Amino acid sequence: MGLEYRSVDVDDRVAHFVQRDADADASMTILFVHGFPLNQTLWQEQLKGLPSHCRLLAPDLPGFGRSQPMETATQDGDGRPVWTMTALADWLDRFLDALDIETPIETPIVFCGLSMGGYIGWEFARRHRQRLGHLVACHTRAAADSDVVRRARSVAATQVLETGAEPIAEAMLPKLFGVPLASVDAEQIELIQSSILKTPAESIAAGHLGMGQRADASGWLETIDVPTLFVAGRHDGITPADEMESDCQRMPNASFVCLEQAGHLGPLQDPTAFNQLLVDWLQENANA
Ligand code: MLT
pLDDT by residue for the chain (288 residues), tens only, comes to 689 999 999 999 999 999 998 876 667 899 999 999 999 999 999 999 998 889 999 999 999 999 999 988 899 999 999 999 999 999 999 999 999 877 777 779 999 999 999 999 999 999 999 999 999 999 999 999 999 999 999 999 999 999 999 999 999 999 999 999 999 999 999 999 999 999 999 999 999 999 999 999 999 999 999 999 999 999 999 999 999 999 999 999 999 999 999 999 999 999 999 999 999 999 999 876
The answer to whether the CB of 115 is under 6 A from ligand 1 is yes
Helix intervals (H) in the chain: 44-49, 85-102, 116-127, 147-163, 166-177, 186-198, 201-212, 241-249, 266-269, 271-284
Ligand 1 site, residue 64, Cβ cutoff 6 A: no
* E strand map for the chain: 3-10, 13-20, 28-33, 54-59, 74-75, 81-82, 109-114, 132-138, 228-233, 254-259
238 lines ligand 1 (CB under 6 A): yes
Q: Which pLDDT belongs to residue 39?
A: 98
Given a contact cutoff of 8 angstroms between Cβ atoms, the answer to whether 56 and 177 are in contact is no
Q: Answer whether 95 contacts ligand 1 (Cβ < 6 A).
A: no
- The reported pLDDT for the residue numbered 250 is 97
Distance CA 84, CA 93 (A): 14
- Per the CB < 8 A criterion, the answer to whether 90 and 80 are in contact is no
CB 20 within 8 A of CB 4: yes
Distant-in-sequence, close-in-space partners of 187: CB < 8 Å, separation ≥ 6: none
The ligand 1 atom at the shortest distance from the C-alpha of residue 264 is 2
List the one residue out of 194, 234, 232 whose CA is nearest residue 115. Answer: 232
- Cα(172) to centroid(ligand 1), Å: 9
Give the whole-angstrom CA distance, residue 285 versus residue 187: 34
Atom of ligand 1 nearest to the CA of 118: 3
pLDDT for 106: 74
Supply the pLDDT for residue 59.
98
Rg, the chain, Cα only: 18
Among candidate residues 26, 10, 30, 28, the one with its CA nearest the CA of residue 18 = 30
Q: Is the beta carbon of 116 within 6 A of some atom in ligand 1?
A: yes
- The answer, yes or no, to whether any atom of ligand 1 lies below 6 A from the CB of 233, is no
Q: Could you tell me the distance, in angstroms and rounded to a whole number, from the CA of residue 146 to the centre of ligand 1?
A: 14
Choose one of 114, 211, 231, 268 to mutate for the ligand 1 pocket test, by most ligand atoms within 8 angstroms of C-beta: 211
For the Cβ of 211 lying below 6 angstroms from any atom of ligand 1, the answer is yes
User: How high is the pLDDT of residue 73?
Assistant: 80
Q: Mention every residue, 6+ apart, whose C-beta is less than 8 A from residue 30.
A: 46, 50, 54, 55, 56, 57, 109, 110, 112
Ligand 1 lined by 35 (C-beta under 6 Å): yes
Nearest CA owner, ligand 1 atom 7: 116
Q: From ligand 1's centre to the CA of 26, what distance in Å? A: 32
Please give the number of the atom of ligand 1 that sits closest to the Cα of 211: 9
Q: How far apart are CA 50 and CA 133, in angstroms?
A: 18
pLDDT of residue 105: 77
| Angle of helix 201-212 versus helix 116-127 axis, rounded to 10 | 60
Q: How confident is the model at residue 102, as a pLDDT?
A: 74
**Beta-bridge mates of residue 114:** 138
pLDDT for the residue numbered 288: 66
Strands 81-82 and 109-114, sheet pairing = unpaired
Q: Edge-to-edge strand order for the sheet containing 3-10?
A: 3-10, 13-20, 54-59, 28-33, 109-114, 132-138, 228-233, 254-259
Q: Residue of the nearest CA to atom 5 in ligand 1? A: 36
Secondary structure letter of residue 144 according to DSSP: -
The answer to whether 124 touches 215, Cβ cutoff 8 Å, is no
User: What is residue 199's predicted lDDT score, i.e. its pLDDT?
Assistant: 98
- Give me ligand 1 centre to Cα 217, in Å: 15
Q: What is the pTM of this model?
A: 0.97
C-alpha angle with apex 282: 123 to 10, nearest 5 degrees? Answer: 40
